[in-house]
DNA sequence: AACCAAAGGTGAGTAAAACTTACTTACAAA
DNA sequence: TTTGTAAGTAAGTTTTACTCACCTTTGGTT
């Protein structure tokens, strides 16, 4: 588990912002350390003063972006009273964050998951906390009777996370725009009300 | 768009199987061309006779695995009459395939998505067909009245795909086992019936 | 003010791995 | 037999992530 990446010395900041900028147009693999250093206005060697790895740099940049992401989520659900309201808020806020911050989305959904070291990084720890928040809300909802008590909360958590991520995927990969509000509303409707058509009302 | 990878000459087959075997224990990045060639019993140069890239090799191996995957799906839904039944079958078969074939799952869910070339590969074309199958079933269900007509079929498609993928993710990454039948049943229940608790029945 | 340790930063160098290229061998058709 | 093509080899080359020994600046202590 790496350290949470404090703001740090100017060189480190320059490296991280340069890398983050490059990630807007290129994928991780095709960004070279020389390119990063060049754009940051530092030498290649400095990268390895602050980051153990090229991947560590990726993880720390993700950590930074995700911190803002999670802050946005938490303020979004504070005012909501019902569990369903909270989950709606999380889904909307998540989609919105991914849509607004393509770099965050690209790193998180496409770039980090393949390497084992990510799962030992501080960034992943934050993601786990985020996922845990959703799980806790679900459990609470099942206890209060807002949500059906006869289901696996883990599974609902996965369905929600999967729905959020897969909804963004195409937009992230092909750089398209998306109607965040409509998507969020649709997902909420599908998951909460179900898609089976029946006369019951 | 690369060619669909015919069986091909012995050297090509040896390379693909050696690589596929290596993918069971290591991630793409840490597998070297020397290692592949060594395990295949050929020279490194031969890889580049049949594959433009190391990534092209990855894509062609994925293509091969996915062909079997899709064949399994199609036979699984043939007998089903209702759209819901078909979707259930697809969800179950998908989870089952991923659980049975870790290499397929790892490549598809973790390794290929970061590179642009994947989206021009034959493997991705197959994935699109698979996704399209789901979409078609949804549309049919909305027309026949099995599924609610007041929703975005694309969104339901994404929710289903996301649910399937995210359910497998942890198991694939950390090599855990999962109760496929239970997971499939749970997902189906959540998506079709919804998770909101209400007295209506 | 003088000092010094530590942090910030440099630049040349290394090793490894992906990819190239010029070449050889098998082999079927004309 | 000749010939043309596909299969395969072996020895490079280049790129790129990473290292290491060395400067430079800074700030706290005596």
pLDDT score recorded for residue A78: 87
Residue of A197, A199, A201 to mutate, interface with B, max B Cβ within 10 Å: A197
Q: Which residue of B has its CA nearest to A110?
A: B114
- Using a 7 Å cut-off to protein CB atoms, list the covered nucleotides of chain D: 6-12, 15-21
What's the pLDDT score for residue A76?
83
Kindly write down the DSSP assignment for every residue of B144-177, as one continuous string. HTSB-SSS-HHHHHHHHHHHHHHHHHHHHHHT--
Distance (Å, rounded) from C-alpha A88 to C-alpha A185?
8
The 3 state secondary structure assigned to A48-79 is: HHHCCCHHHHHHHHHHHHHHHHHHHHHHHHHC
pLDDT of residue A8: 77
Taking the C-alpha atoms of residue B177 and residue A29, their distance in angstroms, rounded to an integer, is: 31
The confidence score (pLDDT) of residue B76 equals 85
List chain B residues with CB under 8 Å of A197.
145-149
| SS3 state of residue A124 | helix
Please give the model's pTM, rounded to 2 decimal places: 0.94
Burial class (CB in 10 A: 0-12, 13-18, 19+), A79: exposed
Residue in chain B nearest A112 by alpha carbon: B110
Which token pair is A24?
A: 């807007």
pLDDT value, residue B5? 42
Mean pLDDT, 10 residues at a time, chain B of 201 residues:
57 97 97 98 97 97 97 91 97 97 98 98 98 98 97 98 98 96 98 86 46
Task: Nearest by CB to B190, from A113, A161, A191: name it.
Answer: A191
Does the distance separating the beta carbons of B149 and A186 come in below 8 Å? no
pLDDT in tens, chain A (201 residues): 433 445 679 999 999 999 999 999 999 999 999 999 999 999 999 999 999 999 999 999 999 999 999 999 988 888 999 999 999 999 999 999 999 999 999 999 999 999 999 999 999 999 999 999 999 999 999 999 999 999 999 999 999 999 999 999 999 999 999 999 999 999 999 999 999 997 654
Segment (H or E) for B187 = helix B180-193
Give the domains, in start order, of chain B with CATH numbers.
Answer: 55-193 (1.10.357.10)
Least Cα separation, residue B150 to chain A (angstroms): 9
């Amino acid at each position: 588990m790496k350290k949470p990446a404090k703001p740090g010395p100017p060189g480190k900041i320059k490296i991280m912002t340069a890398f983050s900028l490059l990630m807007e147009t290129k994928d991780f693999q095709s960004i070279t350390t020389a390119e990063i250093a060049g754009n940051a206005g530092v030498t290649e060697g400095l990268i390895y003063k602050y980051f153990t790895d090229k991947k560590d740099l990726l993880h720390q940049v993700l950590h930074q972006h995700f911190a803002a992401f999670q802050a946005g989520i938490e303020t979004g659900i504070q005012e909501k009273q019902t569990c369903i309201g909270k989950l709606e808020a999380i889904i909307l806020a998540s989609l919105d964050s991914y849509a607004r911050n393509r770099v965050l989305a690209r790193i998180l959904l496409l770039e980090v998951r393949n390497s084992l070291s990510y799962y030992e990084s501080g960034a992943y720890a934050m993601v786990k906390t985020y996922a845990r928040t959703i799980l806790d809300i679900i459990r609470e909802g099942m206890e209060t009777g807002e949500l059906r008590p006869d289901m696996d909360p883990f599974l609902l958590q996965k369905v929600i996370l999967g729905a959020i991520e897969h909804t963004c995927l195409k937009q992230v990969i092909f750089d398209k725009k998306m109607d965040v509000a409509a998507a969020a509303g649709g997902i909420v409707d599908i998951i909460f009300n179900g898609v089976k058509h029946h006369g019951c009302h």
